[in-house]
Amino acid sequence: MMNTAVQPMVLVIDDDDPTRMMATEFLTQAGFDVTDFDSGKAALDELEQRAPDVIVLDVEMPEMDGFTVCKRIRACAGYETTPILMLTGLNNSDSIDLAFEAGATDFATKPINWSLLCHRLRYMLRAWQAAQDLANNQRSLAAAQRIAQMGNWQLTVGSDEMVWSEQLYVILGLQAENVTTSLSTFLQTVCAKERPLVGDWMEDAQNQVMDVTSVDFCVVQNGGVERYVRQQVEQVLDSEGGIVSLNGVVQDFTEKREAERRIEQLAYYDNVTALPNRTLFQERLDDAIQRAERDNCCAAVLYVDIDDFKMVNDTLGHASGNLMLNEIARRITHCVEDATTCLARIGADEFTILLPGLEDSSHAIRTANLVIQKLAQPYALNGSEIFSSCSVGIAMFPEHGTCSESMLKNAGVAMSDAKRSGKNLYRMHDFSLDEEAQKRFRIESQMRVGLERDEFQVFFQPQIDLESGKLYSAEALIRWISPELGFVSPADFIHIAEDNGFIVPLGEWVLKTSCLQAVEWIQSGFPITQVAVNISVLQFIRADFTKTVQRILDETGLEPAHLELEITESLLASDTDLAVETLRKLKEIGVQLSIDDFGTGYSSLSQLKHFPIDRLKLDQSFVQGVTTSDEDAAITKAVIAMTNSMQVKLLAEGVETKDQLEFLKLCHCNEIQGYFISKPMPADVLTEEIGEIMSRLEGLFDGQGNLRLAA
């Protein structure tokens, strides 16, 4: 930028030597740095090397006249606005017009009054600098408006005409050349719904001093694109306080609004089903409770949990799981189409329904039954048909809770009760359930730390081969002695560990501990050389289960044939193809497989033919009835006969008396396990007591495995 305060550079172009000399003399004295050329061509050749602040140019020159030179200078980059003063010899208006047309800034006629000319040049420079500053300011204002997505306008009160900034055109989606900048054009861009309101607002702004000086509205650009803007207006008043004009600023906050909307979506809605989440549900529930208090009516919360959803997710993958959740959301929505209800997804497979303004619980019960019925219908997922069910818990306001937290908690407790009662049904909350829920909560929170703190232990219960009358294996049964909860039965914590997935690391720990124990027994020549380990369905259906088994065998060095995995019948009923495939892989590894608690599930013996298993474990509920119930005796005999024909061994669980043992031996049952021979005990206790157990067996069986009659 030029520095007028120091020494402005002036270029003098004139063919007349005396004029150039005079110019140099006067201008140098006046503080200019002077360079002179005797022809336009010479000057044009040098222009690129120079950066003059002002040019003095003679009109009448041979070869190329001053008008042409001026035009050429203007065409050079960087010389578009440089002040050019033309020296005309002729005092006629034609050449003055020509000078301006050629791009001159000003003119002076010869003969020249040099001292006057010096002042003139200074003024020209100052005016040029001011124009330059203004242009810079306008540019930076336009840039700032562009960055801030902000435009501005001025309106004189009473007139329709407005002045718009560049950015305002952009915001309104208009092109400067196609529009007249008027208030009516401006209002035309406001969306139809808000136009009257904004029109009135602008009218008021011109007529009365306003308190509220901003208004938000939506602008519809050509092509229908919507932009959300905030307009702020300043009223300019005259000395009497009358409004003379308005200055308005229009800011486009579409992106900010969109971001806010997305934040709200994330904060209040579930991203899989787009249903409200727990936070929003709780807010709606609080409102409903307040209204119910005021109107003296009831409200209900239904807590819907999908039965065994984890299995769907684990076997079919998360994508299918999400598809199923969306279908579930759709079905529940159809059950509760009343606009006052709120359906939310508050957990992985947990949905809640709010039914406000009820007279009693009958509508809640009807809805629960409808949801249960709709969710039990088959789901088409990735070409296969999946069956599912749900358990529903109901809590009523004010009976079961008076705030959103207690209502949700108690509906959840009732849902857990529905699960325990067999699933696929609903339960109304009942305060006696609270104790149960508290116990469950304590177990759940202590379980994980329990494994880290070594509170779990594996007990072993010997298994006897009835043909030889000898010990051959032991079932590994987990025990938990918690410092806070005391002894916790596996019946109380296994299903909780299955619900929250903790069974996976826990089961792996049992498997490893048991394999290590078997290796120790084998190496020390102990009479028991095999372990049977219970495997949860949740472990079994994991894609990496066979690998885990193989890894543990490798790590512990146990021969696969010395390990038996006990799985439950329910597994075979759920997904036959997957079960057969996994069982086949496990057989390839070389481990033994048994079906535990046989007779309590739904599988039939004929179904079992498809599974490569070595042993059935007849559930103790049948075994304990063999000597007292004809039915149990008949079932036991039939199962023994069929397993014998299928080349599958039968182990009878829970043998507690000698009569039971005799019955089983007589029917050719292969193996037994039960308190009559030994209770489950820690490995070290078993080592101490093994002699006693063996002598008891010797008292019962002779060397050939026959029962001693007199024993």
Nearest approach, Cβ of residue 656 and ligand C2E (Å): 4
322 and 306 in contact (C-beta within 8 Å)?
A: no
Amino acid making up residue 656:
E
Nearest approach, Cβ of residue 491 and ligand C2E (Å): 5
Joined tokens for residue 30: 């006046």
Say how far apart CA 282 and CA 469 lie, in whole Å: 64
Site string for Mg ion, 648-677 (x = CB under 5 A): -----x------------------------
410, 536, 636, 670: which one binds ligand C2E (CB under 6 A): 536
| Strand extents, DSSP E, 65-144 | 84-88, 106-109
313, 352, 463, 534: which one binds ligand C2E (CB under 6 A): 534
Cβ atoms within 10 Å of 28's Cβ, excluding its own: 13
Q: How far is CA 583 from the centre of its chain?
A: 36
Q: Specify the stretch interacting with ligand C2E by CB under 6 A; choose among 224-232, 323-331, 425-433, 649-657.
A: 649-657
CB nearer to ligand C2E: give 343 or 478: 478
- Site size toward Mg ion (CB under 5 A) is 5
Q: Does 566 bind Mg ion (CB under 5 A)?
A: yes
Q: Does 510 bind ligand C2E (CB under 6 A)?
A: yes
165, 473, 513, 534: which one binds Mg ion (CB under 5 A): 534
CB nearer to ligand C2E: give 4 or 600: 600
Q: Does 536 bind Mg ion (CB under 5 A)?
A: no
Q: Specify the stretch interacting with ligand C2E by CB under 6 A; choose among 66-74, 132-140, 272-280, 674-682.
A: 674-682
Backbone angles phi, psi at 578, to 5 degrees: -65, -40
CB nearer to Mg ion: give 324 or 565: 565
State the DSSP code for 670. -
Report helix, strand and coil shares of the chain as percent, to nearest 5: 50, 25, 30
Nearest approach, Cβ of residue 567 and ligand C2E (Å): 9
Using alpha carbons, list the distances in angstroms from residue 69 to 9, 60, 85, 122: 19, 11, 12, 22
CA atoms within 13 A on the CB side of 588: 9
State the DSSP code for 706. P
Q: Dihedral sign for Cα 73, 75, 79, 82, please.
A: positive
Question: Residue 464, by phi and psi: left (phi above 0), alpha (psi -120 to 50) or beta?
Answer: beta
CB nearer to Mg ion: give 323 or 652: 652
Say how far apart CA 474 and CA 467 lie, in whole Å: 17
Q: Does 650 bind ligand C2E (CB under 6 A)?
A: no
Nearest to 196 by CA among 208, 188, 185: 188
Q: Specify the stretch interacting with Mg ion by CB under 5 A; choose among 98-106, 362-370, 433-441, 562-570.
A: 562-570
Q: Which does 412 bind (CB under 5 to 8 A by kind): ligand C2E, Mg ion, none?
A: none
Nearest approach, Cβ of residue 684 and Mg ion (Å): 22
Q: Specify the stretch interacting with ligand C2E by CB under 6 A; choose among 299-307, 401-409, 480-488, 669-677.
A: 669-677
Nearest to 393 by CA among 361, 441, 360: 361
Nearest approach, Cβ of residue 458 and ligand C2E (Å): 7
Backbone angles phi, psi at 27, to 5 degrees: -70, -40
199, 490, 527, 560: which one binds ligand C2E (CB under 6 A): 490
State the DSSP code for 527. S
597, 636, 676, 678: which one binds Mg ion (CB under 5 A): 597
CB nearer to ligand C2E: give 146 or 479: 479
Say how far apart CA 436 and CA 438 lie, in whole Å: 5
Joined tokens for residue 699: 């008292």
- Residues numbered 554-573 forming contacts with ligand C2E, rule: CB under 6 A: 566
Q: What is the 3-state secondary structure (H, E, C) of 146-175?
A: HHCCEEEEEEECCCCEEEECHHHHHHHCCC
Q: How many helices (H) and strands (E) does the chain have?
A: 26, 27
Q: Specify the stretch interacting with ligand C2E by CB under 6 A; choose among 50-58, 488-496, 586-594, 681-689.
A: 488-496
How many residues are there in the chain? 711
494, 651, 697, 700: which one binds ligand C2E (CB under 6 A): 494
596, 626, 652, 664: which one binds ligand C2E (CB under 6 A): 596
DSSP three-state, residue 54: strand
DSSP three-state, residue 593: strand
Q: Does 515 bind ligand C2E (CB under 6 A)?
A: no
Nearest approach, Cβ of residue 617 and Mg ion (Å): 5
Q: Does 461 bind ligand C2E (CB under 6 A)?
A: yes
Q: How far is CA 490 from the centre of its chain?
A: 36
Q: Does 507 bind ligand C2E (CB under 6 A)?
A: yes
Q: Specify the stretch interacting with Mg ion by CB under 5 A; choose among 22-30, 383-391, 541-549, 592-600.
A: 592-600
Q: Which does 66 bind (CB under 5 to 8 A by kind): ligand C2E, Mg ion, none?
A: none
- Residues numbered 609-628 forming contacts with ligand C2E, rule: CB under 6 A: 620
CB nearer to ligand C2E: give 446 or 534: 534
Q: Specify the stretch interacting with ligand C2E by CB under 6 A; choose among 162-170, 246-254, 635-643, 653-661.
A: 653-661
Joined tokens for residue 662: 């005799």
Q: Judging by DSSP bridges, how do beta strands 84-88 and 54-58 pair with one another?
A: parallel
Q: Does 656 bind ligand C2E (CB under 6 A)?
A: yes
Say how far apart CA 240 and CA 635 lie, in whole Å: 108
Give the burial string for 310-319 (b: 16+ CB within 10 Å, else e).
bbbbbbbeee
Q: Does 175 bind ligand C2E (CB under 6 A)?
A: no
CB nearer to ligand C2E: give 14 or 653: 653
Binding site for ligand C2E (CB under 6 A): 461, 477-478, 489-491, 494, 507, 510, 534, 536, 566, 596-597, 620, 653-656, 673-675, 680
Binding site for Mg ion (CB under 5 A): 534, 566, 596-597, 653
